[in-house]
Structure 1
Amino acid sequence: MLDTVQADARAFGLETADKSLLIVDDDRPFLQRLGRALEQRGFDVTTAESVSEGMTAVKRSAPAFAIVDMRLGDGNGLDVVQALRDARDDARAVVLTGYGNIATAVTAVKLGAMDYIAKPADADEVIAALTRNPDERPEPPENPMSADRVRWEHIQRIYELCDRNVSETARRLSMHRRTLQRILAKRAPR
């Protein structure tokens, strides 16, 4: 079993002795699933469910790698990325988010994140981002979202940010309330 874990780690370019990894996410099932998957691939995983827990983990022992959710219940995950970069120059971090936009992606990279990945992300995608050469460009997605799907995702994010209040969501999107209700009643486009 140990040989297969080491072989998987080598396949992803993890030849370094320090495979310490911090995962910060407030979605407990996702956190546990990702943590188990990365442990099976040779990482020494520590988990945290908030910015404060993540900051404490970084202060206790700054890991070589980190996977941090952008939006957490008690603040912004970029604070954890910044603390990690301050504590350890060679640390590699990836920011995960369900609320992607260009401004936050640029900020994440400026703070030292290796990549910015939209949820849901699988373990192989995260490892590839963590171990990628900083000068190497990621491949474009094989199946990018359609324009209709991107629009639908945006509406769903705003709807969730408004605590599922249709009137407030319609106001923020400059959309008629009935139009929004029809969109919300439909299935997600492909």
Structure 2
Amino acid sequence: MNTEADNALILLVDDDVTFHQVLARSLRRKGFEVIVADGVDNAHSLLTRYQPDYAVVDLKMEGASGLALIPALQTLAPDCKTVVLTGYASIATAVEAMRLGAVDYLCKPADTTQILAALQGKAPNPSLSPAEQPMSVDRVEWEHIQKVLYEHEGNISATARSLGMHRRTLQRKLAKRPAQA
């Protein structure tokens, strides 16, 4: 068993019940104590009782975004290392997560090994080369929409006005999975 894991407490915040049950079980097998919150509000109440060493926070959940939890984690558990995990990755949210204090930003599906490597600050891969192809037009559009949506604090109507598109068109685009690079 990993000695770093002994007695280390991980706060897992994700509204996908199946996902957080599987990940929590896997982390417990590796020797971590895990507390689970199904949203930002629930996580806030847990932070009044616990001081987690690590946090794995989903970006897109019902209610507030996982980004809203990072400042509270920094204040209430200043030594806590936070990783943002998402199936809706964008450059804008990745930059904002890091700016708020997350130590890493991972795209789902990420396995337990990848999550632990990020939480424990394993060295990044310096030999990683840039993509051979530029992002697709669909992906560039997705990134831009995410940036504008973030700038308007998640307000769909204000974002649609800013982008010059109908609100329903924007909602349809947001309901789709992000375009591949």
3-state DSSP of counterpart to 1:35:
helix
- 2:79 corresponds to: 90
Q: Which one-letter code corresponds to 1:67 in the other structure?
A: V
Q: Which one-letter code corresponds to 2:43 in the other structure?
A: G
CA separation in 2, counterparts of 1:121 and 1:104? Answer: 17
Whether the 8 Å CA contact 1:98–1:118 is kept in 2: the answer is: yes
Whether the 8 Å CA contact 2:87–2:108 is kept in 1: the answer is: yes
Q: Structure 1 residues 138, 56: closer, same or farther in 2, change over 3 A?
A: farther
After superposition, where does 1:1-190 map in structure 2 within 5 Å? 6=1, 9-10=2-3, 14=4, 18-133=7-122, 136-138=123-125, 151=139, 168=169
Deviations 1:77-132 (A, max 9, x none): 12222111101221111000111111211111122111000111111110010001
- TM score, norm. by length of structure 2: 0.70
Q: Structure 1 residues 40, 91: closer, same or farther in 2, change over 3 A?
A: same
Q: Structure 1 residues 169, 110: closer, same or farther in 2, change over 3 A?
A: closer
Q: Which runs of 5+ in 1 are unaligned?
A: 1-5, 174-183
Whether the 8 Å CA contact 1:18–1:64 is kept in 2: the answer is: no
- TM score, norm. by length of structure 1: 0.67
Q: Which one-letter code corresponds to 2:108 in the other structure?
A: K
3-state DSSP of counterpart to 2:55:
strand
Whether the 8 Å CA contact 1:37–1:123 is kept in 2: the answer is: yes
Q: Structure 1 residues 172, 24: closer, same or farther in 2, change over 3 A?
A: closer
Q: Percent identity?
A: 35
- Bigger-Rg structure (1/2): 1
